[in-house]
Structure 1
Amino acid sequence: MKTLSRLISFPRSCPLCVGMHMGHAFLAQRARTRKPQTRSEPHMNTILHPFRPFVTTLAILFLSLGAIPPAHAAEHVINFEAGLSGWSAVKGTSYFNWARHAGGTHSGHTGPNEAEEGNYYLYLEASRNTPSRIAYFQSPDFPETIKRVSFHYHMYGAHMGTLTLEGFDGSRWLQLWRVSGQQHGSHYAPWTRKELDLSARTIRKVRFKGVTGSGPGKLYRGDMAIDFITLTTSKEVSAGHWSKSGDDVYFANGNVGIGIKDPKADLAVLGNLSKALSGHIAIAKGSINVTGVGTRFTKDLAAGDSLLIKDQVFRVAKILSDTELNLNAAHPTGALNATAYTDGDLLSVHTGAEVSALTIDKSGNVGIGAAAPKATLEAKGPFIRKVFVATGLGPGDETDPAAGGRQIKSRVLNFTKLHADTAIRILYSDNLRVHRPDNTSIARWEIRINGAHPPGGAIYQDKHSHAGQNDLEPATILGYATGVPSGNHQIQIWVNIVPGYAAYAADTYTGWSNSRWTLEAQEVWMQ
């Protein structure tokens, strides 16, 4: 979208990029099962793709990176999950454009019940759009010739018109394939896959031509649909734009850039990642009131979110229901039967069972196994954290307190701190004793960093006993060391005189020969 601009860089050293370098092999092994009901036309040699990519907001890019066919061919996949992928919908004589849609169409007894692949497909509405109204769905002009094209189509309805695939050879549009009339018996009939070999031609762009039904009466049962288009061009683009589609995808010096011509990392993204809202919307010219059909405004949006309607960006001022909301400003031209877009997640990775594995939302929150993280990092399920630990069975230590303190040298923990603005959570547990046969006794056990108190404040525990009391008791000291710089440090235990009670300093004993002591430290962020 046009409202926010982000630059995301993934260097070679990051774990995500390591996965990208392994993308081709991983995707080939990580096959996603196709919908079993797909059928191909009987006279064609069916070539089924060995996999389908898992869903990600960068799915089209990952396909380009991880699924490029051999022999210098480049494969371009359009699945309508994230828009039209640089293709153009042109009305021609039609009242309506080819439109992205999920689920069944708006008319009964026509159209598919779902997409062939994923959630979205493209269809041409027949209601109030006859007779013989023409609409085009046209590819960009590719820099290399198109060698092969495959797609899926669904044509259920008694008033079905004609679907044609045409190719441009540099001077004129040529008919490559054509089918007319009802081809499927119900909403639930499997989509038909068509594949064409264009290697003998010099075609650099193609278009689908949809013509609605002809005849008297209301011919609304004629919603034709297409989905999952794959074009193979003769050569992989090695530099500059990957195609002339205007998608702003660049390849330079082994790096890939989206919206940035000179990427400095393996993958650099500059711009906005948006997602289409379900259903279609309408808004009158000069109005702030948006109405929807098949929309879920209360679930998909929140007040303050960005909304793109016909190249105009607005903020959602108020959500009234699933099918009505108000914008922050009036729309200058209005829109009818349009698809609206809002800011999407920066990254969304799903497993083959469509379970969210990793999400980075538009605010930067990261969810691992959590589809909608509410915190900076939210992990659903077990995870392993790094904790520094030193522990042992004894020995008992008879070091006594003195002015300025003395170190218990048998209790130390070496710790590496990564950030300067974090804290160290330190836990020390042991058996402690302070003893004096003739008087009250007091001593202090302290947690120090490299022999000094943490800059943000001392961490200690005072222990007191009455005259003649000689008990070793378990004790735990827990504190947060703040102001400690990054780098390698030693966490130590010291015994000291309590200020103002030097006269009561006494014989101290730390630990016991067969009792366990533990020092544990972890770097944490504090609010």
Structure 2
Amino acid sequence: EFHCGFEDGNICLFTQDDTDNFDWTKQSTATRNTKYTPNTGPNADRSGSKEGFYMYIETSRPRLEGEKARLLSPVFSIAPKNPYGPTNTAYCFSFFYHMYGQHIGVLNVYLRLKGQTTIENPLWSSSGNKGQRWNEAHVNIYPITSFQLIFEGIRGPGIEGDIAIDDVSIAEGECAKQDLTTKNSVDGAVGILVHIWLFPVIVLISILSPRR
């Protein structure tokens, strides 16, 4: 099992991508510059400690909209396969994220397998203001070879767009079903409401329509 709260000096062997536009920054409330923008970013780390550390992207000038910062995890080796079990070993990947501010851009997470030179579709993605709180994400992954996780923060349209992450974990075995992150849950709920609302309207129209 792997867990990183970014408390140690080498940030658990995470590294900065040298092909992006800017870097992630290790930070705590206690060491933060008093001139920082007050309406974005965490007040404390995920545990609530003002002495604890987290990683975040600073979106003040000279950063521009659309610029990207990528943080690379160490490379993980997969567990030996059980010849009588599933083809791929399952892992539960979880982390906390903080996206507070009126100019929040996008946080993407990618899974890169050994030998891959490009990354395309994110494993997980979120955008927009989520309020002044830490949220938790759980995602099942099924790597077939050694792998690496990539956190990509994309700068939004203004300076109030700091995005932070903390307490990254990887554990063998699938995540508990109640913990799994549900994508498009809001869209799904809206879709259900639309269909419920449309049904009586369609019935009413059919009743009122003149018969030929």
Q: Which residue of 94, 97, 101 maps to 1:150? A: 94
1:123 matched residue in structure 2: 56
Amino acid at match of 1:206: L
- Cα separation, 1, equivalents of 2:58 and 2:155: 8
Give, as a single letter, the amino acid of the residue that structure 1 aligns with 2:169.
Answer: T
Mapped pair 1:109 → 2:35: no
Contact 1:91 1:135 in 2 (8 A): no
Matching of residues 31-430 of structure 1 within 5 Å? 75-83=1-9, 84-90=11-17, 92-95=19-22, 97-103=23-29, 106-117=36-47, 118=49, 119-128=52-61, 129-144=63-78, 147-170=91-114, 171=116, 172-173=118-119, 174-184=121-131, 189-199=132-142, 202=145, 204-214=147-157, 219-233=158-172
- TM-score (normalised: structure 2): 0.65
Residues 202, 195 of structure 1: alpha-carbon distance in 2 compared, 3 angstrom cutoff: farther
CA distance in 1, matches of 2:153, 2:144: 23
Aligned to 2:177: none
Q: Using the alignment, how far apart are the partners of 2:18 and 2:160 within structure 1?
A: 19
Identity rate, percent = 28
- d(CA) in 2 for partners of 1:230, 1:133: 27
Higher relative contact order (CA 8 A, sep 6+): 2
* Greater Rg by CA: 1
Decide whether the 8 Å contact of 1:164 with 1:176 is kept in 2.
yes
Provide the aligned C-alpha RMSD in A.
2.1
Q: Aligned to 1:85, what secondary structure does the other structure show?
A: helix
Q: Is this contact kept in 1: 2:75–2:146, CA < 8 A?
A: no
Preserved CA contact (<8 Å) 1:148 1:199: no
Residue by residue over 1:423-442, the C-alpha shift from the partner in whole angstroms, topping out at 9 and shown as x without a partner, is xxxxxxxxxxxxxxxxxxxx
Count of residue pairs brought into register by the alignment: 151
Summarize deviations over 1:341-374 as a string: whole Å, max 9, x none: xxxxxxxxxxxxxxxxxxxxxxxxxxxxxxxxxx
Mapped to 1, the partners of 2:150 and 2:18 lie a distance apart of 12
Q: Distance in 1 between matches of 2:100 and 2:169?
A: 23
CA distance in 2: counterparts of 1:94 and 1:155, whole angstroms: 20
CA contact (8 A) 1:100 1:123 kept: yes
> Secondary structure of 2:156's partner?
coil
Q: What is the distance in 2 between the residues matched to 1:222 and 1:114?
A: 17
Counterpart Cα distance in 2 of 1:131 and 1:92:
17
- Alpha-carbon distance in structure 1 between the residues aligned to 2:12 and 2:110: 19
Q: Which amino acid aligns with 1:225?
A: A
Measured in 1, the distance between the counterparts of 2:60 and 2:18 equals 15
When you count strand as a share of all residues, which structure comes out higher?
1
Q: Unaligned stretches of 5+ in structure 2?
A: 80-89, 174-212
Contact in 2 for aligned 1:91/1:134 (Cα 8 Å) = no
Question: Once the two structures are superposed, what CA deviation does each residue of 1:474-527 show, in whole Å capped at 9, x if it has no partner?
Answer: xxxxxxxxxxxxxxxxxxxxxxxxxxxxxxxxxxxxxxxxxxxxxxxxxxxxxx
Contact (CA 8 Å) 2:113, 2:143: kept in 1 or not? no
How many Å separate the matches in 2 of 1:111 and 1:91? 24
- 1:93/1:143 CA distance change after superposition, 3 Å: closer
Q: Deviations over 1:11-69 (max 9, x none)?
A: xxxxxxxxxxxxxxxxxxxxxxxxxxxxxxxxxxxxxxxxxxxxxxxxxxxxxxxxxxx
Relative to structure 1, is the Cα distance of residues 161 and 203 closer, same or farther in structure 2, using a 3 angstrom cutoff? farther
Distance 2:45 2:103 in 1: 21
Paired residue secondary structure (2:69): strand
C-alpha distance after superposition, 1:122-150 (max 9, x if no partner):
10000011111111111111121671210
For the Cα contact (< 8 Å) 1:144–1:233, is it kept in 2? no
Higher relative helix content: 2
Q: Distance in 2 between matches of 1:192 and 1:133?
A: 23
Q: CA distance change for structure 1 residues 93 and 141 in 2, over 3 Å: closer, same or farther?
A: closer
Q: Is the 8 A contact 1:167 1:203 kept in 2?
A: no
CA distance in 1, matches of 2:153, 2:123: 14
